[in-house]
A = this chain, B = another copy of it.
Amino acid sequence: MTDLSQNPCIICVAITGSLPTKENNPAVPITVAEQIESTHEAFEAGATIAHCHVRDDEGKPTSDPERFARLKEGLEKHCPGMIVQLSTGGRSGAGRTRGGMLPLSPDMASLSVGSNNFPTRVYENPPDLVDWLAAEMLTHGVKPEIEAFDLSHILQAAKMHRDGRIKDRPYVQFVMGVKNAMPADREVFDYYIHTVKRLFGADTPWCAAGIGADQITLNDWAISSGGHART
C-alpha cells in the first residue's frame, strides 16, 4: 500500500457515494461492474485511493459484505496498487452492520469517531460503536480514515491514538459543507490543518472533502494547502 506521507499528490476518488441514485443522475455507477469501470478510468487519470460505497439491487445504499468483496476483488485486479477504502458510514446501514465488511481486510476504511447533525437527522456514532469499529480495524489490519465533521473529532482521534484504539498516526479527512454540520469555512479549514499538525506532527498527511456545491472549493483549498483531495 502506498505510503500516504510520501506521495506528493494523492487523489481520492469517491465511487458512487452514499446519496445519488440513477434517478437523479443516470451516469452514477451502481452495479459493481459499473463501479470498477469508472474507478479504472479515475485510476488511469491518477487517482490513488478509491473510497467505496456499494448499492443493493434496487440501487439503495447497503453495507453488504458480499458486494464489498466483489468490488474490492475487481479493483485489485483492474487497478493494481490502488488503495481500496471501504465506507463504514451511517447512510449504508445501522449499528455493527456498518462494519460487516472489515474482515475483508481492505487497505483502509472510513471511521467516524463522533456524532453530529446531518441535513435532516442526527448522524449517530455512539461511543461503543466507534470503539467496536476501531477494534475491528485493528484486528483486520485496516487503516482508518477519520471522517472529521467537526473539530472535536480530530481531538478524539488523537485520544484514541494515544490509548491504542487507533494504531498509526491518524489520517484525517475534513468534511465540510454538510448542512447543519460544519460549513465550508476557510478559517476553520486552516485551523483544522493547524490542529492536525499540532497533534500529529508537521508532516502529517490529511485530506478534505466538500459536499455538493462545496466540492470544488474544498479541492482548491486542499490542493493549495498541501492536502489530498477527494473527487
Contacts and interface: CB of A to CB of B under 8 A. Distances in A.
B198 A181 contact: no
Interface stretch (A99-107, A115-123, A133-141, A217-225): A115-123
Interface stretch (A21-29, A34-42, A49-57, A152-160): A152-160
Number of copies: 2
B116 A120 contact: no
A188 interface: yes
A180 B122 contact: no
A14 interface: no
B119 A117 contact: no
A53 to B, nearest CB: 23
Nearest to A128: B120
A127 B120 contact: yes
Interface of A: 114-117, 119-128, 130, 149-152, 155-156, 159, 180-183, 185, 187-188, 191, 195, 198
A122 B115 contact: yes
A182 B152 contact: yes
A100 B125 CA distance: 28
A151 B150 CA distance: 7
A154 to B, nearest CB: 10
A120 B131 CA distance: 11
